[in-house]
Amino acid sequence: MMNFKHFWTKKTLVGLGLGQFLSLLITSTGFSSSELAKKGINAPTSQSFLNYVLLAVVYGGVMLYRRQALKAKWYYYVVLGFVDVEANYLVVKAYQYTSITSVMLLDCWTIPSVMLLTYIFLKTKYRFRKIAGVIVCVAGLVMVVFSDVHAGDRSGGSNPRKGDLLVIAGATLYAICNVSEEFLVKNADRVELMSFLGLFGAIISAIQISIVERNELKSIHWTAGAAFPFFGFSLAMFLFYSFVPVLLKMTGSTMLNLSLLTSDMWAVVIRIFAYHEKVDWMYFLAFFAVTVGLIIYSGGDKDDDQSQADVADEDAERSKRFDEEAGFSNLSRATMAGSSKTGDTSSHDLTTSFVGRETIANNKGIGKDVEGKKF
């Protein structure tokens, strides 16, 4: 049974609060993208371009002020920037074909993808309870796809199946980004990560815009109704990117994506009250399945923390034993070195001692002979 005194720690509360703040930011980006799609604006890469520019300017300025050497290879950030740009492109593009609710729910595919990647590359072990929770979440995702296929007219998109596939592909790329960012933020530097991600993300986005979205940008009629969600999306993404590394360092990529599951709830609320759209009953069933999966997954956190603590204790004990053995080995080598320096003296003492014992034995033998001769 879960002990809530251990559960409601300061770190847990800060992590949950920050996770919900990020969840609201993701929901706002979904709302902005959906509004732009309704206005006929189809420029997903352009929406993310300003975010990358802000990251490069703000965090790049901080990095130049620090004048520190790079802690990671620059080409790692090139690859990460490319994957991140394409992930944003696919997910934002999906709003042209499916509903905001489907995008938010199918984004949960990031969780099993993150678990698989961390298991393969970071050697993270997951208990059966956590795996069962992820299976339940995936079952909820299957229900979303099934609902979109059989109720396309109520899903709020022109081609729900295509939109679902785009979201799943983008979520997989998001998983790669999250695991990579978790590794870099724990082994490199957060400011360095954000500045180079913004720099290379902006460069790659600019190239992609000039090839794919050049004509689309020319056809956009910039009104207040179009500019507000466009720049609102960039601002929300900038805040999201700025705080994600903080949560990654605190809790890891899996817990980040689990926290973002509540964005599904906000998406349903927006769709009902802002868009006045009818939500298919299977969405609620899918959300219930995702919630149950989250509860099952979170139920194993205490055991995993205890297991990690046991492993840490074993590592500490092993390190202590190694240090003791190393100290004993050094002491032995020091003793041997001291003996080699006084080798002549020790050899002389040993020889003298041996000869002395032999002389005493011989004297005892002679004494016995003399004594026998007297009798």
Query: Which class for 342: exposed (0-12), middle (13-18), buried (19 or more C-beta within 10 A)?
Result: exposed
Q: For residue range 113-162, what is the model confidence (pLDDT) as tens digits?
A: 888 888 888 777 788 877 888 788 778 777 776 666 655 544 456 788 88
Percent of the chain topping pLDDT 90? 25
Alpha helices in the chain (DSSP H): 4-7, 10-38, 44-66, 74-94, 100-106, 110-121, 128-150, 160-187, 190-208, 214-218, 224-251, 253-259, 263-273, 281-298, 301-341, 343-374
Higher pLDDT among residues 145 and 190, named by residue? 190
Higher pLDDT among residues 374 and 149, named by residue? 149
Q: Quick one: average pLDDT of 78-106?
A: 87
DSSP, collapsed to helix, strand or coil, labels residue 275 as: coil
Residue 188 pLDDT > 90? no
Instruction: Look at residue 324 in the predicted model and tell me its pLDDT.
Output: 47
Residue 139 and residue 127 in contact, taking contact as beta carbons nearer than 8 Å: no
Q: For residue range 194-249, what is the model confidence (pLDDT) as tens digits?
A: 999 999 999 999 999 999 898 888 888 888 888 999 999 999 999 999 999 988 88
Question: Residue 252 gets which letter from DSSP?
Answer: -
pLDDT-based confidence at 12, cuts 50/70/90? low
Burial string for 318-338 (b: 16+ CB within 10 Å, else e) reads eeeeeeeeeeeeeeeeeeeee
Residue 81 pLDDT > 60? yes
Question: Residue 210 gets which letter from DSSP?
Answer: I
Q: Please list, in sequence order, all residues whose beta carbon lies within 8 angstroms of the beta carbon of residue 353, skipping any fewer than 6 positions away.
A: none
Q: Quick one: average pLDDT of 56-69?
A: 93
Residue 178 pLDDT > 60? yes
Residue 271 pLDDT > 60? yes
Q: Please list, in sequence order, all residues whose beta carbon lies within 8 angstroms of the beta carbon of residue 315, skipping any fewer than 6 positions away.
A: none
**Which of 38-42, 68-72, 129-133: highest mean pLDDT?**
68-72
Higher pLDDT among residues 181 and 147, named by residue? 181
Higher pLDDT among residues 160 and 83, named by residue? 83
Q: For residue range 289-304, what is the model confidence (pLDDT) as tens digits?
A: 877 876 776 654 444 4
Give the Cα separation of 175 and 113 in Å (integer).
Answer: 6
DSSP, collapsed to helix, strand or coil, labels residue 73 as: coil
Instruction: Look at residue 27 in the predicted model and tell me its pLDDT.
Output: 87
Give the Cα separation of 88 and 167 in Å (integer).
Answer: 10
- The two three-digit tokens of residue 359, written as one number: 């002389």
Q: Please list, in sequence order, all residues whose beta carbon lies within 8 angstroms of the beta carbon of residue 304, skipping any fewer than 6 positions away.
A: 127, 130
The single residue listed with the structure tokens 């069933």 is 285
pLDDT-based confidence at 63, cuts 50/70/90? very high
pLDDT-based confidence at 328, cuts 50/70/90? very low
Residue 278 pLDDT > 60? yes
Instruction: Look at residue 341 in the predicted model and tell me its pLDDT.
Output: 41
Instruction: Look at residue 110 in the predicted model and tell me its pLDDT.
Output: 85
Higher pLDDT among residues 372 and 102, named by residue? 102
pLDDT-based confidence at 56, cuts 50/70/90? very high
